[in-house]
Amino acid sequence: MKTAEATFELVDQIPPAAEARLRRLRALAWFLDRLFSLGGNRRFGVEPLIGLIPGLGDWVGGVLSLYILYEAARLGVSWTVLGRMGINVLLETVVGSVPIAGDIFDFIWQANMRNVRLVEQHYRPNLRPRPVARILFPIVAAALLLFFLLLTVAVLFVHFLWRLLG
């Protein structure tokens, strides 16, 4: 005879495919945001280093961050949570594209770790995974939007420097 507790435990078990996705998300966020130690509790990952590559680095970091958003959508996380995650990525990518100040912001903000925490807080085993076709277009559109936003920021920054020096 099944007890109420045993039934509850079975319902709360995370399916193996979802657990594998969550592990990949945690590992990617750690790699991008927390891989290296500066001593104590201060850590940073590969993403701020990628962001040092002029022009392309912040976009590549943003696209890698969008993968976390993609996997969260595949897990069935709500559109509201996905929107919050998208704002984190957008903020880190656009602000991160500003020379020096943006690089410091990348070290501090760590959008990927924030987004994985959001996924962990809001994922439930009873959520229905979304099919790839429903989320692929928004993710590709977001990557293109990031590209054009960064291009705009770069052009405005160069224009500002040109006027400042000219």
- Spatial distance between the Cα atoms of 64 and 52, rounded to a whole number of angstroms: 15
Q: Which residue has the higher pLDDT, 166 or 32?
A: 32
The dihedral formed by the CA atoms of 63, 31, 46 and 42, expressed in degrees to the nearest 10: 130
* Percent of the chain predicted with pLDDT > 70: 92
**Pick the residue with more confidence: 1 or 136?**
136
CA dist 75 and 125 (Å) reads 9
pLDDT at 110: 94
Stretch 69-91: mean pLDDT, rounded?
Answer: 91
- pTM for the model stands at 0.78
CA 145 to chain centre: 15
Q: Which of 63-72, 106-115, 127-136, 138-147 has the lowest mean pLDDT?
A: 127-136
| C-alpha 132 chain-centroid distance | 18
User: Tell me: the pLDDT tens digits for 10-46?
Assistant: 446 888 888 999 999 999 999 999 999 988 888 999 9
Whole-number CA gyration radius for the chain: 19
Query: In angstroms, how far is CA 92 from the centroid of its own chain?
Result: 9
**pLDDT confidence tier of residue 4, bands split at 50, 70 and 90:** very low
Residues sharing a CB contact under 8 Å with residue 9, sequence separation 6 or more, in sequence order:
none
Q: What is the enclosing helix (H) or strand (E) of 66?
A: helix 57-75
